[in-house]
Homo-oligomer: A and B are copies of this chain.
Amino acid sequence: MDQKGIFRKRKPPLGSVPGTLSIDEGAPFPKISLIEFDRDFMNEDVIERVEDLETVVFATDKVHWIDVQGLGDEATIRKLGEVFSLHPLALEDITNVPQIAKVEEYENCMFLCLPMMRMEGDLVVSEQVSLFLGETFVLTFQERYGDVLDPVRKRMRRNSKIRSMNNDYTAYAILDTIVDNYYPVLQSIGNELEKLEEELVETISREKLKDLYSMKHKLAQLKRLVWPTKDVIGRISREESEYFEDQTALYLRDVYDHIIQSLDMLDISRELSSELMNLYLSSTSNRMNEIMKVLTIISTIFIPLSFIVGIYGMNFVHMPELSSKWGYPVVLVVMGVVVFIMLLFIHRKGWFRK
Contact = CB atoms under 8 A, between A and B. Distances in A.
Contact of A316 (B272, B303, B322): B322
A123 interface: no
A181 to B, nearest CB: 7
Nearest to A104: B253
A268 B103 CA distance: 23
Interface of A: 7, 9-10, 12, 14-18, 87, 89, 92, 99-100, 102, 104, 148-152, 155, 160-162, 176-177, 180-181, 183-184, 187, 190, 201, 203-207, 209-210, 213, 216-217, 220-221, 224, 250-251, 253-254, 257-258, 260-261, 264-265, 267-268, 271-272, 275, 277-296, 298-300, 302-307, 309-319, 321-325, 327-328, 331, 349-351, 353-354
If over half of A's interface residues share one DSSP class (helix, strand or loop), that class is named, otherwise mixed; here it is helix
A314 B316 contact: no
20 contacts: A7-B268, A9-B190, A12-B258, A15-B151, A15-B180, A15-B181, A17-B155, A204-B289, A205-B354, A209-B282, A221-B268, A224-B267, A284-B285, A291-B296, A294-B300, A295-B299, A298-B303, A302-B304, A316-B331, A319-B328
Q: Which of A15, A206, A322, A354 has the most CB of B within 10 A?
A: A15
Given A151-B16, A299-B299, A313-B314, A288 B289 contact: yes
5 interchain residue pairs of minimum CB distance? A15-B151, A309-B310, A312-B314, A313-B313, A295-B296
A58 to B, nearest CB: 25
B353 A203 contact: yes
Given A291-B293, A295-B296, A224 B268 contact: yes
Contacts of A325: 318
B180 A12 contact: yes
Contacts of A318: 324-325, 327-328
A181 B257 CA distance: 26
How many monomers of this chain does the complex have? 5
Contacts of A354: 205-207
B272 A217 contact: yes
B282 A184 contact: no
A286 B286 contact: no
A70 B177 CA distance: 29
B314 A328 contact: yes
A210 to B, nearest CB: 7
A102 B260 CA distance: 11
A258 B89 CA distance: 12
A283 B350 CA distance: 14
Contacts of A353: 203, 205
Contact of A89 (B251, B260, B312, B328): B251
A265 B9 contact: yes
Contact of A187 (B9, B207, B322): B9
A298 B300 contact: yes
A331 B306 contact: no
B216 A275 contact: yes
A288 B290 contact: no
Contacts of A323: 317
A283 to B, nearest CB: 7
